[in-house]
Amino acid sequence: MLRRTFSLWAASLAASGLLLATGAASAQELRVLVHSSFSLPKPMLAQFEAQSGIKLSIIKGGDAGEMLNKLILTRAQPIADVVFGIDNALMAKARAADVLSPYAGAATQRVAAVPLDGPVVAVDYGYVNLNYDKAWFAKSGLALPQKLDDLAQPAYRDLLVVQNPATSSPGYAFLLATIAGMGEEAAFDWWGRMRANGLKVAKGWSEAYYTEFTRNGGSRPLVVSYASSPAAEVFYSKEKITESPTANLFLKGGVFRQVEGVALVKGGQQSEAAGKFIEFMRSAPVQEALQTTMWMYAAEPRTPRPEVLRHAVEPTAFDNPPAELMAQKGADWVSRWTRVVLK
Amino acid sequence: MAMHRKRIPPVLWLGLVPLSFLSLVMLAPLLRIGVEAVTGASGATGAMVADLWREDYLRWRIIWSFVQAGATCIAALVLAVPVAWVLARFRFAGRGLLLRLLMLPFVVPTLVAAMGVLALWGPHGLVSGWFGIHLQDTPWLLLYGNLFFNLCLVVRAGVDALGHVSAARVAAARTLGASPWRVFWRVEWPAIVPWLASALCLVFLYCLSGFGLALVLGGQRYATAEVEIYTLVAHELQLAQAGVLTVCMALLTALVALAYAWIEQHLAIPGRPDAIALRRPASWRQWAAVGGAVLVLGVFCGAPLLAIAVRAVQAGAPAWATVLEDDSLQAVGNTLRFTAAALVLAVVLGVTHALAARRSVWLRAAAFLPFVVSPVAVAFGLLLLYPQWTASLWILVAAYALLAYPFVAQSLGAALDQLPLHLTQAARTLGATPWRLFWRVTLPLVLPSLRRGMAFAAATALGEFAVTLFLSRPEWTTLTTLIYERLGRPGAGNRDAALVLAALLMLLALLAFLLIDNPGRRDGTRTRLVAGAAHA
C-alpha cells in the first residue's frame, strides 16, 4: 500500500513540474517592498502614479526585520525593485548580505535632519522609549522611576512589559539602547535583575500595548513604545482630549533613535522609476503626511510639524551603539538576551 | 482493504488531485528550504540534532509543546463528550444556533480573543472584579485559551458521531434492561470513538503548532516549538537550526497523525441510517443537563466572545462609523471573496482526498500534513521556490486552502467510514453506476458531515491563519489584517475600531455558517434519505 501511495505521489510530482514550467509573471510596474507599518494617504500614491506614469505595486513583507530577511532570502531573484523601511538597526545586516544598490539622486544631495549612512536614503526618524500610564501612577502614588536601575527595585516589581528583541523591532531597539547606555555587562546584569523583578516579555508591540499595558486592561503601567505614541493617543482618542493619557519617560539607556529610509534593491529592475519613488518619499507632501500616518518625524528639515505632535516632544539625548558594533554583535546580543531573560 | 487487487483502484486516482496540490505548495517549498538549510553558511548537521536535545531550553520547548497539547486534548474530551451527548439527544430552542455559534472562536483574531479573555479573567476583568482573583500569567489561562479555540471541534464531532448511532441498537440494549449509563458505554461510546479520535488529533496538532492565544496570554515563557521555528526563520534567518527543529517536530507529529489514521481505519464501524430522533427534555434532570451543557459552552467559548461584542457595542457611534469607511468595505469584500475561493478549492481537495483515503492509511494520514509541517517553513519555502509569484493572489488562496481542506477531508472521512454497507450494496445490485451510487446514495448520507467540514474550512479561511506569514498587498486587506493594522497603533479610537471590526467579522462568519451548515436543511436530508432507503 505504501508503494502504491508513493507511485501516485511520483506521478503527481511530474504533473506539478509540467505546470510550473509554464507561466511566469511579467508586469511593467515598480515593485515596492515595505514593512507592515508603511502607510501613506491613498490619493497621494494615486497622484504619484498619475504624474510619473509608474504603476506602483506595493508588497507588505511583515515586520521590518522579517521583511529584510525575505529580501535576503530571495536575493538571487529579487521580489522587489525598491525597499522602504530598513533602519539604522538593520543596516549592518542589509549591508553584509549585499542586497541594496547605491543611489545618487537629488534627495541624497540634501542634508537630512538625521544622518543615515550606507545606500539607504533617510525618510523619517523616531525614538523607542518607555511610555507610562499617567492615571495609574497618579492613582498609585508611586513616584516615576528616575533611572532604569529603579525598575529593578522591589517597589517597581511587575510594572514593565517589553517586546522580545528576537521578534520585534522596538524590542530590539530598546535592548540596543540599554547596552549603549549602560555598557554590555552592566546592561545584561540589569536584564537579569529585571527578570527576577517580574519583567514581562510580549511577542510584539501590539501584544504588549493591547493586552499588557494598564491603559488597555493589562497589569503593566510601563511599556516600551515610541516617543510619538502619546501624540497618537490624542490623535486617535474617542472624544476630543487636550492632554494625552500616556507620557514619555526618557531614561538614560532607555532611548534609541531609529532612522529609516528607502533604497534600491540590488538586481531589481526599473531603476529609473525606483529613483523617482525615492525622490517622492522625500518630497514635501509625503514628508508632511507621514508624521501622522506612520508617526515618525520627517527627515527633510523644515518640514512643518503637525499641531498634534506637540504631545510628542523629542528627547534631548539617546543611546545608540556605534554602527560597527551593532553590525558585529547585534545577533550575539539577541541570543545573550534570550539566555538571560527567557531561558 | 483490497490487497487482493493488483491494479490501482480507480478511486485511488482521485488522490492525484490533493497529492499534486500538496507537492506543489507544501512539499516542494519544504524541500527547497531544506536545500537552503543544508547548503547555507552554517549547514545542518547530525550534531545539531543532538545539540537540540541537549540544550535545556529547546528541550523544554518541545516537551512543553506536547504537554500543553496533551492536557488540552484530555480537558477537551472530558468537557466535550457530555456536552455533545446533550446536544445530540435533546431538542431545545436555539440548539441549531448554538451549534453554529460554537465555531466563532475560530474566526476571531488571536489578539482580539486575548482582549476578550482578559476583559473577563484579566487583572481588571469582570471575574476578578467579583472574586478578587485574576488568572493572567498562570498556566490555567493558557489551558482556558486552548479550550476556547478547540472545544468546538470536539463538541461538533461528538454531536455528529452521536447522530450516527443506530437507534435500533440503542433500543435493543434498553429493551434488554441496560441502564442509560451502560447503553452509553457499550453502544454509543464505541461508535463515536473514531470520530472523537480524529477531532482530538486535529486539536492536538493545532495546539502543537500553536501560535495562538496561549502565547499572547502566557507571554514568551510559554512559547511552543513552533514559535521557536518562527523566530529562527523569520527573524534570525537561522535556517539550518530551524530546519533541524522543523524535521524533528514534523516526525513527532507525523507519528500522531499516523496513529490516528490507523485507529480510525481499524475502529470504524459501518453505521445504519436510523438516527435517534431528538426529543424535548422531559424531566427536571434533563433540563438541568441541557442547562449544564449550555453553561459549559458559555464559560469556555461564549464569554470571551460576548465580552468582545459588549465592548464593541459600548464603543458607540463614532467607532461603528468606521464600518462604512472605504477601507472597511474593501476588507469585507476581500474577506468574502478569498473565503469563497479558498472554500471551493478546499472542497475539491477535501472530497477527493477523503474518497481516495478510504483505501490507504498513508493517504489518510497525509490529510494532516498541512498541520504537521511548520507553516512558516512552508511560507519561506514558497518565497524561495516561486519568487516571481510570491505576491500573487493564487499563492494566498492556495495557502488558505492548504490550511482549510484538512477539515473537509477529516470530517468527510469519518462519515464515509460509517456508511451503511447494505445501502451501497443494494444500489450496486440494482445496477447503479459508481457515479450514480456516489450522487444518489453516498453524498446524501455524508452531506451533513461535509457541511460541517466546510463550515470549519470557511472559519479557518475567515480567520487569521498564515495570513501574516505570506507577502501581502494593501489592496488585499481582509477584515483580519485590518484589525491588526488598527491594533498596530496606539489610541482608544483604534482599539474601539478593532473591536467593532471583530464584531462585524463574527457576524459575517455566523451568516456564512448558517448558509453552509444549515440546520433546517440538515434534518430535511435525513428524512429524504430514509425515504430513499425505503425505496431501495
Residue A290 sits in a domain of what CATH number?
Answer: 3.40.190.10
% pLDDT > 90, chain B: 17
Closest Cα in chain B, distance from residue A61 (Å): 5
Q: Is the pLDDT of residue B271 over 50?
A: yes
Residue B218 confidence (pLDDT) above 70:
no
Question: What is the rounded average pLDDT of the residues B417-442?
Answer: 80
Is pLDDT of B389 > 70?
Answer: yes
> In angstroms, how far is the first alpha carbon of chain A from the final one?
45
Does residue A203 fall inside a structural domain?
yes
Q: What residue of A is the nearest CA neighbor of B213?
A: A207
Phi and psi (nearest 5°) for A201? -115, 125
What confidence tens digit (pLDDT) does each residue in A19-40 have? Answer: 444 433 334 589 999 998 899 9
Distance of alpha carbon A132 from alpha carbon A209, whole angstroms: 11
Does the pLDDT of residue A116 top 60, yes or no? yes
Give the chain B residue whose CA is nearest to the CA of A17: B24
C-alpha distance from A8 to closest chain B C-alpha (Å): 6
The answer to whether residue A193 is domain-embedded is: yes
The nearest CA of chain A is from the CA of B20 a distance in Å of 5
Distance CA A278, CA A109 (A): 13
- Among B372, B374, B375, which residue's Cα sits nearest to residue B251? B372
Interface test with A, best of B20, B320, B334 (most A CBs within 10 A): B20
Strands (E), B52-206: none
pLDDT at A4: 56
Instruction: Give residue B440's pLDDT.
Output: 83
Q: Rounded to a whole number, what is the distance in Å from the CA of A105 to chain B's nearest CA?
A: 28
Produce one character per residue of B383-411: b if its CB has 16 or more CB atoms within 10 Å, e if not: bbbbbebbbeeebbbbbbbbbbbbbbbbb
Q: pLDDT per residue over A302-331, tens digit each?
A: 999 999 999 998 999 999 999 888 888 988
The answer to whether residue A169 sits within a structural domain is yes
Check B23 against A16: CB less than 8 A apart: yes
Average pLDDT over residues B196-201: 86
Contacts of B219 in chain A (CB under 8 A): 200-202
Residue A219: domain span: 126-257+315-342
Residue A20 lies in a domain: no
> What's the pLDDT score for residue B212?
63
Which residue on chain B is closest to A4 by alpha carbon?
Answer: B8
Q: Decide if pLDDT at A112 tops 60.
A: yes
Q: What is the dihedral of CA A91, A96, A99, A105, to 10 degrees?
A: 50
pTM of the predicted structure, to 2 decimals: 0.86
Residue B472 pLDDT > 50, yes or no? yes
* DSSP three-state, residue A161: strand
Task: Return the SS3 of B406.
Answer: helix
Pairing of strands A82-87, A30-34: parallel
User: Closest Cα to residue B346, out of B242, B251, B455?
Assistant: B455
Using CA atoms, how far apart are residues B120 and A137, in angstroms rounded to an integer? 24
**Closest in A25, A61, A72 to B237, CB measured:** A72
Say if A19 falls within a structural domain: no
What does the pLDDT look like over A211-236, one tens digit per residue?
Answer: 899 998 888 999 999 999 999 999 99
- The mean per-residue pLDDT over the stretch B499-524 comes to 79
pLDDT at A179 over 80: yes
| Statement: residue B232 has pLDDT above 90 | no
Q: Are residues A171 and A75 in the same domain?
A: no
End-to-end CA distance of chain B: 26
> How does DSSP assign B12-68, residue by residue?
HHTTHHHHHHHIIIIIHHHHHHHHHHHHSTT---HHHHHHHHHSHHHHHHHHHHHHH
Longest dimension (CA), chain A: 74
Question: Are residues B493 and A238, on separate chains, in Cβ contact within 8 Å?
Answer: yes
- Answer yes or no: do A58 and B136 touch at CB < 8 A: no
Tally of CB atoms within 10 A around A193: 15
Residue A181 has pLDDT above 90, yes or no: yes
Which residue of chain B has the CA closest to A165?
Answer: B235
Residue A310 lies in a domain: no
Q: Residue B279: beta bridge partners?
A: B90
Q: What is the mean pLDDT of chain B?
A: 82
Which residues in chain A have Cβ-Cβ distances shorter than 8 Å to B216?
A: 202-203, 207, 211
Residues A244 and A321 both lie in one domain: yes
Contact B219 A20 (CB under 8 A): no
Distance (Å) from the alpha carbon of A189 to chain B's nearest alpha carbon = 19
Tell me the pLDDT band of B140, cut-offs 50, 70 and 90. confident
The confidence score (pLDDT) of residue B468 equals: 64
- A111 and A164: one domain? no
pLDDT of residue B132: 67
Does position A10 have pLDDT exceeding 80, yes or no? no
CA separation (Å) from B442 to A227, B258, B410, B514, B532? 64, 26, 16, 23, 12
CATH superfamily of B48-535: MetI-like (1.10.3720.10)
Which chain A residue has the Cα nearest residue B128?
A217
Res. A12: pLDDT tops 50: yes
Q: Are residues A229 and A265 in the same domain?
A: no
**Based on the structure, what is the number of domains in chain A?**
2
Chain B: nearest CA to A6, how far in angstroms?
9
Task: Check residue A23 and give its pLDDT.
Answer: 37
Average pLDDT estimate for B331-340 = 90
Work out the average pLDDT over B406-419: 85
For residues A253 and A271, membership in a common domain is answered with no
Task: Name every chain B residue with its beta carbon within 8 A of the beta carbon of A31.
Answer: 391
- Decide if A76 is inside a domain: yes
Residues of A in contact with B321 (CB under 8 A): none
- Residue B67 C-alpha cell reads as 504537554
Residues A151 and A53 in one domain: no
Rounded percentage of chain A residues whose pLDDT exceeds 90 = 67
The verdict on a CB contact (< 8 Å) between B24 and A31 is no
Select from A136, A238, A290 the residue whose CB has the most chain B CBs within 10 Å, as the one to mutate to test that interface: A238
Q: Measured between beta carbons, which residues in chain B are less than 8 angstroms from residue A200?
A: 137, 219
**Residue A110 to chain B, least CA–CA distance (Å):** 31
Taking 50 as the threshold, does the pLDDT of residue B153 lie above it? yes
> Would you tell me how many other CB atoms lie within 10 Å of the CB of residue A128?
26
Same domain, A239 and A265: no
In the numeric block, which cell numbers belong to residue A198? 517580574
Residue A138 sits in the same domain as residue A117: no
Q: Please tell me whether residues A215 and A319 are part of one structural domain.
A: yes
Query: What local confidence, expressed as pLDDT, does residue A182 receive?
Result: 95
Mean pLDDT of B324-345: 90
Q: Does the distance separating the beta carbons of A62 and B490 come in below 8 Å?
A: no
Whether residue B390 has pLDDT greater than 80: no
Which SS3 state, helix, strand or coil, does residue B479 take?
A: helix
CA-CA distance, A341 to A196, in Å (whole number)?
9
Predicted confidence band of residue A8 (pLDDT cuts 50, 70, 90)? low
Could you tell me if A50 and A196 lie in one domain? no
Q: What pLDDT, on a 0 to 100 scale, did the predictor assign at position B382?
A: 86
pLDDT at B50 over 70: no
Q: Is residue A174 part of a domain?
A: yes
pLDDT at B418 over 80: no
Q: Are residues A96 and A155 in the same domain?
A: no
Kindly report the backbone phi and psi dihedral angles of residue B96, in degrees, each rounded to the nearest multiple of 5, phi listed first: -65, -45
The verdict on A157 and A192 lying in the same domain is yes
pLDDT at A178: 97
What are the chain B neighbours of A207 within 8 Å (beta carbons)? 111, 114, 216
Contact: A201, B220; criterion CB under 8 Å:
yes
pLDDT surpassing 70 at residue A291: yes
Instruction: Return the pLDDT at B46.
Output: 61
